[in-house]
Structure 1
Amino acid sequence: MRSTGKNVCISATIAGIAIGFWVSEANAQLKSLLPPDRRAARQKMLSTAEMVSVIPGCRTVGRPGAYPLYTRKLSLNVEQEKAIAQLDSIVRNALQPRPDEAMSPEEQVASFRQFRNRYEQLLVHARQVNYCGLLRPVEAEYVLQQFLSQEELWALRHSADVQQMLGLEPKQQDERISLKDLTAEQREIWNRLSQSRTPPEPSYQLYQLPENRKVEFDPVRHSAVFRILAESNDSLQLSVNQQRSLEALREVTQTGLWYLAVREEASIPPAAIIHPPTLAETKVKFLHHAEEIALLGILDESQEATVRALVDDQ
């Protein structure tokens, strides 16, 4: 089913207003708890995040209403659009400094670097959740191609997932690299990923997860991180906002796991370079990136450390 652009934009606008109010309220509450010197450091991070996030393809995770250039020609169904919009909202809310990252002015350089690293990691994890689970392989190829064609230097210099696909050496991963610095093999991979593509038509149906199979695809049954989060809600002292974000992420992950099962039933091959060679490996990769969004984007530093330690003990 293809949604009209008007309906998608209206839904995106409403979601954006709600998320904006939610984030503003959380920021105001946190600001009141910070001493003046830390407030200044935090404000610098927020201002920088807003400046960076307006770059198309940098913060977006594929929401049709946010960047129609990338997705308006895809035949996404209602469930896909809903899951992608949920993911987009989760990550936008997560792209805020943690309290522990709003350090004093003397530590601004180090604290900003910590914030920026987490910021960029979240974007990578969000894109991979999209590529591996929420989009069909041909859709993932198309969206990635659009990203590379529009944001060539940004993707090459700042997108860890793209750098990994290309097999960049550590010495190549700096802010001065350009296409001319790639090896012949790396340039061939870049050309394959960025070659012009026709907007794909759905090659198989992604239908809604039946009620009687929801338990089967609950990420709590497939992921130690999601299971621990569900069992440790009280001990972690999760805020209401954190609980809402985790529940939304759980729904997104459930949808992705279901779509991977549908893809297996339809015997659809993976997208070369983007996906691992087997569906089982793709599932592992998808779950890993969803888990990292929870750990890096929803939990605070202390909660993250607690959950990682519990996972290691299992």
Structure 2
Amino acid sequence: MEKVSEKVRQIIQPGEHSYVFSKYLEPIAHVKPGEVVEIYTKDAFENRITSEKDLPSQILGDYLNPQTGPIYIDGAEPGDTLVVHIIDIEPDRDWAVSVMKESFGGLTSTDLTPMLQDPLPEKVWIYKIEDGMVRCNDQLNFPLRPFLGTIGTAPEVEALSALTPFNHGGNMDVPDTKPGNKVYLPVRTEGAFFFTGDAHAGQGDGELCGVALEISARVRLKFELIKNKEIKWPRIESDSEYMVVGSARPMEDAARIAYSELIKWMEEMGWDKFEAYQALTQIGKLHVGNMVDTYYSLVAKIDKKYTKLD
């Protein structure tokens, strides 16, 4: 994990959080490239569900995934790339929550995939966070693996829901947006207008029931700008892998976006397009971030050791 000795500036949302990614909102802060900031985020339910008796239909309003932002990145212009160094994600409380919500999830009918069977019953699970574990009971007992469910910049024209992942980033729900990794995001408006939220204490591939281990968190980030470097879709870099996230429906289109954009990244490294296609055919990796949101998110990956050219 990246070590940081710089002075850290705290950013807390004044007033209401945003439920859209939009350039039409007033920035809550201006941040210079290279500046380290600590951002407070609420959980996906705006911290409203606190016990197993708090059923979502009785507690929640019409919106989910409150975002902290927008944060204006000084010097960011359309056509640049914003690089977000995820330094640390620390739970802001000692518990996480997950729920089974009516008409939401990967194995039930939803608003976008309607069917005639009755909704699944609502249920709430509260997990205790301690000693590097997230524990509800003897069966539901998992390692703490924090990451950012939503991270993105403002689209060029439209405002997009905080539930939606797309080419701006957004609600991708990919566990690769974790401490130690860098997230590359397109800049499509002056200042980039960066948002983040929906921190998770962990999640399996697909976010199957639609709700991960939801937490409020303090997120430590550092921003970098790559000037005049345009990317179409979010990229992620770890110590060992290059990754691209594609978000679409049907799921196979998300896979095609992720793999084709990874090929473009390899071309920037000096690869021939069809050699890269062949390499990913033989050694590429693909996993599902979410299979429950307005668009599905898939991550295409390649180990860095295979991208080195003689």
Q: Same-fold call, TM > 0.5?
A: no
Bigger proportion of residues as strand? 2
For this structure pair, what is the TM-score category when the shorter chain's length is used for normalisation? under 0.3
- TM-score normalised to structure 1 length: 0.27
Bigger proportion of residues as helix? 1
